[in-house]
């Protein structure tokens, strides 16, 4: 199948000279986590919630509100694109090799769509995926944080592991989840509510438990990839902890499913 048959043609873009606040409004309005960045309709970058969380959590940019940042100062400038005629498996490999969550799709140097890991997940529903269990493809080496860890530590863990979500574990028990979206919103709220002169010291007093989602959804290692994909599609979650006898034994993410599809398509 060519990627043009899977891509989203409903392109929501942001201008490079707009500010982060504008991007945040678009994220919320359209329930997306990344946006192509344009300049006079030409693709010049891409920006994600993770990019914003990374930027706002940096000591170099501390104290500055989101409205002070132009999109161009946060976006990824070296955008990887694919032609609309490229095969699914090839696109999946490009995304996996480069650790990216989406790629703009081009036709004659014009952006005609975008494809994300979430789009690939829609393919993982059906007989072939009913026969594959979570335990066969889940990530077993789970990067996690504790509820009493600082917010800045969670940000660093996500950056180092290049992941967008972390299970929160206390005494071997899953007690929450924290995502790039949670981090982004927390940094923005912090800058709004804490006077600038106190931010450097008080950011260290914001903990994971202050912003994590409690009572998180999870799956079992015996569930099928088809079942998990349906849950991801219904909830919008891009990763789910795998729990056995009350303990986290892995995590199943859109990346794991993308890797499976790439393997099956090759």
Instruction: Assess contact for 47 and 76: CB atoms under 8 A.
Output: yes
What percentage of the chain reaches a pLDDT higher than 70?
Answer: 97
Instruction: Assess contact for 51 and 75: CB atoms under 8 A.
Output: yes
Task: Give the model confidence (pLDDT) of 227-263 as tens digits.
Answer: 999 999 999 899 999 999 989 999 999 999 999 999 9
If you average pLDDT over every residue of the chain, what do you get?
A: 92
Query: Which of 60, 57, 58 lies closest to 211 in space, CA to CA?
Result: 57
- Integer angstrom CA distances of residue 66 from 57, 62, 186, 199: 11, 10, 12, 14
Instruction: Assess contact for 154 and 208: CB atoms under 8 A.
Output: yes
Residue 215 pLDDT class (50, 70, 90 cuts): confident
Exposure class string for 128-163: b at 16+ Cβ within 10 A, else e: ebeebbbbebbbeebebbebebbbbebbebbeeeeb
Query: Which of 164, 7, 142, 163 lies closest to 82 in space, CA to CA?
Result: 7
Task: Give the model confidence (pLDDT) of 8-31 as tens digits.
Answer: 999 999 999 999 889 989 998 998
Residue 64 pLDDT class (50, 70, 90 cuts): low
What values do phi and psi take at 112, rounded to 5?
-115, -5
Task: Give the model confidence (pLDDT) of 97-147 as tens digits.
Answer: 999 999 999 999 899 999 999 999 999 998 999 999 999 999 999 999 999
Residue 192 pLDDT class (50, 70, 90 cuts): confident
Distance between CA atoms of 147 and 213, rounded to whole angstroms?
11
Residue 59 pLDDT class (50, 70, 90 cuts): low
For the record, the structure tokens of 121 come out as 């997940």
């Amino acid at each position: 199948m060519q990627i043009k048959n899977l891509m989203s043609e409903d392109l929501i873009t942001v201008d490079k000279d707009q500010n982060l606040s504008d991007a945040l409004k678009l994220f919320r309005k359209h329930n997306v986590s990344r946006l192509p960045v344009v300049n006079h309709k030409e693709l010049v970058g891409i920006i994600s919630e993770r990019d914003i969380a990374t930027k706002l959590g940096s000591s170099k940019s501390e104290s500055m509100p989101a409205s002070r940042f132009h999109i161009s100062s946060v976006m990824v400038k070296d955008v990887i694109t694919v032609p609309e005629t490229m095969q699914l498996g090839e696109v999946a490999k490009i995304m996996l090799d480069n650790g990216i969550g989406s790629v703009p799709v081009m036709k004659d140097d014009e952006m005609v769509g975008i494809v994300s890991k979430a789009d690939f997940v829609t393919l993982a529903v059906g007989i072939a995926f009913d026969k594959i269990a979570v335990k066969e493809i889940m990530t077993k080496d789970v990067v996690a944080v504790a509820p009493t860890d600082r917010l800045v530590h969670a940000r660093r863990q996500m950056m180092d592991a290049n992941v967008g979500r972390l299970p929160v574990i206390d005494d071997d028990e899953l007690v929450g989840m924290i995502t790039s979206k949670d981090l982004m919103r927390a940094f923005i709220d912090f800058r709004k509510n804490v006077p600038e002169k106190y931010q450097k010291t008080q950011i260290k007093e914001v903990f994971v438990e202050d912003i994590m989602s409690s009572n998180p959804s999870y799956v079992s290692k015996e569930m099928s990839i088809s079942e998990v994909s349906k849950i991801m599609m219904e909830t919008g979650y891009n990763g789910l902890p795998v729990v056995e006898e009350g303990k986290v034994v892995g995590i199943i993410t859109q990346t794991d499913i993308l890797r499976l599809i790439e393997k099956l398509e090759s």
